């Protein structure tokens, strides 16, 4: 007798995951309700299989702009609203592209600054509190950047207080812009050290490439590569959704 349903192991193989992942996705509501046999075996359909493939494509960290939109895409698809899922997936793709544009703009500022273009007009040196206020960050953030070697701040010889001049504030603007664009402190450190050594032929590559003695501890150590990978997964998800829409399993009268 031909079996008319798919096993957990078969769905897992199709999605390239462990069977436990399928069970976790089911428990999380990322799959439609799965009927059981009288003996308790899950009876997955082709739609369950394809939904698992789609959900696994999308539900991989990081989530530029947040996870909620991704979960909304998966939820629409799980309940059979493939058109709504497709529309939201294009919204997500636009969000990823916006993140890529943000990272690109920050890299351009870095390059211009490294070429000697001033990022801050000349002004009287500021105290740390005034500098934090000017840049829209906290004093603790400024101290953290200094402590981690991203910037060296001169001290007033009379009282030892930090004094932030145009050069330091300009450098901090670059650091802040890159940080807000998603680049990690490790990526910033290796790039700024290269600028300080006077060797800056390809700063974008440096931002995205850990050194030989540096382990990539976070995805933002290779942020441009990571965003490109997310973009590719979203494009694959869009193409897969379009194929799901053409599949007969959701058409009236098809079991």
Residue 136 belongs to a domain with what CATH number? 1.10.1660.10
Collect the ranges in the chain with pLDDT lower than 70: 1-3, 213-217, 251-255
End-to-end CA distance of the chain: 18
DSSP character for 62? -
123 and 192 inside one domain = yes
Q: Would you say residue 147 lies in a domain?
A: yes
Q: Would you say residue 71 lies in a domain?
A: no
Cα-flanking dihedrals φ and ψ of residue 33, to 5°?
-55, 135
Q: Would you say residue 106 lies in a domain?
A: no
Structural domain including 149 reads: 115-215
Q: Would you say residue 41 lies in a domain?
A: yes
52 and 127 inside one domain = no
122 and 193 inside one domain = yes
134 and 204 inside one domain = yes
Q: Which residues pair with 164 in a beta bridge?
A: 126
Q: Would you say residue 154 lies in a domain?
A: yes
CB 248 within 8 A of CB 46: no
Q: Would you say residue 77 lies in a domain?
A: no
54 and 132 inside one domain = no
* Nearest-10 crossing angle of helices 46-58, 68-78: 170
Instruction: Provide the number of structural domains found in the chain.
Output: 2
194 and 121 inside one domain = yes
CA angle 59, 85, 18 (to 5 degrees): 30
CA pair distance 212, 220, nearest whole angstrom: 17
Q: Would you say residue 100 lies in a domain?
A: no
End-of-domain residue from the set 215, 232, 247: 215
- Return the pLDDT at 171: 97
203 and 127 inside one domain = yes
123 and 211 inside one domain = yes
Instruction: Look up the pTM and report it.
Output: 0.87
- Return the pLDDT at 216: 53
Q: Which residues pair with 155 in a beta bridge?
A: 162
CB 51 within 8 A of CB 77: yes
Tokens matching residue 42: 């899950």
52 and 121 inside one domain = no
Q: Would you say residue 199 lies in a domain?
A: yes
């Amino acid at each position: 007798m031909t079996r008319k349903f798919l096993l957990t192991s078969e769905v897992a193989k199709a999605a390239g995951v462990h069977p436990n992942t399928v069970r976790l996705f089911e428990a999380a509501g990322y799959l439609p309700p799965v009927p059981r046999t009288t003996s308790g075996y899950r009876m997955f359909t082709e739609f369950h299989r394809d939904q698992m493939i789609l959900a696994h494509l999308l539900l991989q960290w990081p989530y530029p702009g947040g996870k909620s939109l991704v979960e909304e895409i998966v939820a629409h698809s799980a309940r059979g609203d493939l058109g709504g899922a497709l529309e939201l997936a294009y919204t997500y793709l636009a969000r990823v592209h916006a993140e890529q544009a943000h990272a690109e703009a920050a890299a351009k500022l870095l390059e211009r600054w490294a070429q000697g273009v001033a990022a801050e007009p000349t002004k009287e040196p500021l105290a740390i509190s005034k500098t934090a206020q000017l840049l829209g960050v906290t004093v603790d953030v400024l101290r953290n950047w200094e402590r981690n070697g991203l910037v060296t701040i001169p001290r007033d010889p009379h009282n030892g207080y930090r004094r932030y001049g145009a050069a330091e504030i300009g450098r901090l603007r670059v650091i802040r812009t890159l940080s807000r664009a998603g680049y990690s402190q490790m990526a910033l450190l290796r790039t700024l050290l290269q600028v300080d050594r006077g060797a800056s032929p390809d700063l974008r590559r440096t931002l995205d490439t850990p050194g030989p003695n540096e382990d990539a501890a976070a995805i933002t150590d290779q942020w441009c590569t990571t965003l490109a990978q997310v973009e590719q997964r979203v494009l694959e998800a869009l193409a897969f959704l379009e194929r799901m829409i053409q599949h007969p399993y959701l058409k009236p009268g098809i079991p």
